[in-house]
Structure 1
Amino acid sequence: MAIISSQALLAASMSVSAMLGAKSVHTEIIIPTSPENVWQVLIDIERYEEWNPAITLVEGQLAVGNSVTYRFQETEEKSANISSTVKVIEPVTHLNHQGGYWGIITFDQHYWLEPHESGTKFTIHEDYTGLWVNFWDSSHTQAQYEKMATALKARVLDIY
């Protein structure tokens, strides 16, 4: 009798959800400072309200396994509280949150920091799956993540 790992079950579950619908958003920016400096601003979620036009903390702390609730400002008129689970924290490199409702809409959000000849390449990449994805306009989220990346760059350069 074969034993199926929980990771294999999760991968299969995500594949089925993706068959119902899938989209992603992606943005990158070069920030002319070290990944360590960018990381310090990125993980200071209690100060997001001071600079982040897209996401502010409602409750929670960044630690693997923790639930964190953010307020996401999709448009000027539309915002929502979104809860996620912190899945990965690789200091100075990678932060990953996942959440949503399986089969309806799930998200898998990644922040990547990579050394670059001009400083740090900061990437936001988020994959969405589920039936609702077919009816959801992701362009607002794409625009907000672009604003967030630009605001992060400005904030980091103000501090460092």
Structure 2
Amino acid sequence: MKSLKLLSILLMIVAGLVILPACARQDEGEAIPPERMRTETEAEAGVEPEGEVLDPRFNTLEGYTVEQREAFEQEVGRMAAEYETWITQLEQQASVQTDEEIRNALNEHIEGLRQQRELLQQQLDELQAADGEEWQELKLDVMTSLQTFERSFDEAAATIG
């Protein structure tokens, strides 16, 4: 019963991802795009910028079946590598930040992002070892982690701006 409730909640989260509009993909080495940044006040108030979206690849990822697992796992692996680049960019911005309070806040966000990135990698490893129904359940966990990471990144980026 508890598993069914958890599955229902996760399905609602994933369904919410489909409703969100698409955002631009960030290529390696690019600066953080303005549309991914919010002001600190907006972030604290929980205000989402108009038209804000998470990665458009979420829409594609949701539809993957067990038969398409290799493609799903490869795409998640690419996203995880991209997230590492995003963290590195935040670290670079923190290192040149002259305001100590902002630098410290950024470093706290970066630490949280690193932990989330490690969790995502662990989940991806578990996903690759799973089979059938277990794979479908773990896929939902991975989708939730992807969404959480992107929202946390947006909060960190808002600290700068």
TM-score under structure 1 length normalisation: 0.28
- Point out the structure with the larger strand share: 1
Question: Hey, which of these two has a bigger chunk of helix by percent?
Answer: 2
